[in-house]
Amino acid sequence: MTAETYKSLLFYAPKDIRLEDVLVPEIGDNEVLVRIKAATTCGTDKKTYERGHPVLIKSVPSPFGHEMAGMVEKTGKDVTTVAIGDRVVVANSAPCLDCFYCRKQKPNLCENLFFLNGAFAELILVPQAIVEHNLHKIPDSLSFDEAALSEPLACVIHAAKQMGIIAGETVAVIGTGPMAFLFIEVVRHLGGKSIIVGRNEERLRLARDFGAETINSTTEDVAAAIKSKTGGHGADVAIEAVGQPATWQQAVSLVRKGGRVCLYGGAPRGTSFLLDTYRVHYEEITVSGIFHHTPKIFKTAVEWLSQGKIRTKEFISEKRTLADVASVLSGQDKTESLKFVIHP
């Protein structure tokens, strides 16, 4: 008798990922087995490929990838929320809803936050916590490719809501990665406008296509350019979506008095940056770190995608297979794209 297997891309070490046949797991009474139809690559995958990840990858070899959508293949006998054949988005985490932070309404900071890896595979076993709190059905009108964007979009909506962005506000975003483009979409949806700050002229051109204003930080004085675009005041909100202390510091210089600064890009552990005390005290700026998403926001992300509120085509135009993930994450595949969709 040969046991059933499926293909899964496993992370062994930085720059060492291997496509292997692994055994289809036994399914628990409260678990769901999902056949993955689309997964998307992101900056976190790239960072993980290059240097590992202290939170996402706890032991090796580890399943890899965290943005995914697919179809329910099998359900445990006690599962009532989804059925075989349902089209779903699997969130990459679920809070316990019972710890100190969950009780303080901060489920994204849950002490028992469980992370699910394994989007780059043919199948994924979804554990009970995610089945119960963070497995979302999607309508037939939403493609799997688009649905896989729910995770990064949830992170961006979470940040935008935490920052209290409202109609009429100007949001400066530092960075030209996929997250910056999702910010353009979310800010527009909230009635604000974005100014994208970056160095990559091709990406800045794309940002203008998305309806944002842009500033090239290699040729312009960014703080002065933001002032001239905001009646001399500065942006209402600045978002750092790069993950470097230097740009964290720059973000603080871009807001008006009373403005809010969102440090969205995670910088390497052990790094720090200087914060101007005058700005914080006499100019009442607020500086916040924002991390991850919550089940409620994840649901909102799925809804916004389902309702066509987010422009998606530039995120999902490049399709690849599991065998291509290494060349995509290593940069050997030089195709210019915000993200790559992996079809197992």
**212 lies in the site for Zn ion, by CB under 5 A:** no
Contact positions with Zn ion (CB under 5 A) in 294-333 = none
Contact positions with Zn ion (CB under 5 A) in 48-67 = 67
Q: Which span (10-18, 28-36, 44-52, 72-80) binds Zn ion, by CB under 5 A?
A: 44-52
**110 lies in the site for Zn ion, by CB under 5 A:** yes
Two structure tokens written together for 166: 């409202």
Q: How far is the CB of 101 from Zn ion (least distance, A)?
A: 6
Q: How far apart are CA 112 and CA 99, in angstroms?
A: 8
Q: How far is the CB of 157 from Zn ion (least distance, A)?
A: 14
Q: Which of 42, 56, 88, 207 binds Zn ion (CB under 5 A)?
A: 42
Q: Which span (34-42, 69-77, 204-212, 291-299) binds Zn ion, by CB under 5 A?
A: 34-42
**38 lies in the site for Zn ion, by CB under 5 A:** no
**109 lies in the site for Zn ion, by CB under 5 A:** no
Q: Which of 41, 44, 134, 306 binds Zn ion (CB under 5 A)?
A: 44
Q: Which of 96, 109, 280, 326 binds Zn ion (CB under 5 A)?
A: 96
Q: How far is the CB of 126 from Zn ion (least distance, A)?
A: 17
Strand-by-strand arrangement of the 193-198 sheet = 213-216, 193-198, 170-174, 235-240, 255-263, 286-289
Q: How far is the CB of 176 from Zn ion (least distance, A)?
A: 16
Q: Which span (73-81, 93-101, 135-143, 252-260) binds Zn ion, by CB under 5 A?
A: 93-101
Using the minimum distance from each CB to Zn ion, give the nearer residue, 63 or 95. Answer: 95
Using the minimum distance from each CB to Zn ion, give the nearer residue, 257 or 296. Answer: 296
CA 99, 240, 303, 143 torsion-angle sign: negative
Contact positions with Zn ion (CB under 5 A) in 113-172 = 152
Contact positions with Zn ion (CB under 5 A) in 237-296 = none
Q: What is 207-263 written as a DSSP string?
A: HHHTT-EEEETTTS-HHHHHHHHTTTS-EEEEEE-S--HHHHHHHHTTEEEEEEEEE
∠ Cα 114 117 123 (to 5°): 120
Single-letter code of the amino acid located at 96: C
Using the minimum distance from each CB to Zn ion, give the nearer residue, 178 or 198. Answer: 178
Number of residues interacting with Zn ion: please give it, by CB under 5 A.
9
Residue 91: count other Cβ atoms within 10 Å of its Cβ. Answer: 26
- Contact predicate 240/175, CB 8 Å: yes
Strand 213-216 to 193-198 pairing = parallel
Q: Which span (27-35, 42-50, 157-165, 218-226) binds Zn ion, by CB under 5 A?
A: 42-50
Residue 26: count other Cβ atoms within 10 Å of its Cβ. Answer: 9
Q: How many helices (H) and strands (E) does the chain have?
A: 12, 18
Strand 62-63 to 32-40 pairing = unpaired
Q: Closest Cα to residue 136, out of 182, 82, 97? A: 82
Q: Which residues of this chain interact with Zn ion, rule CB under 5 A?
A: 42, 44, 67, 95-96, 99, 102, 110, 152
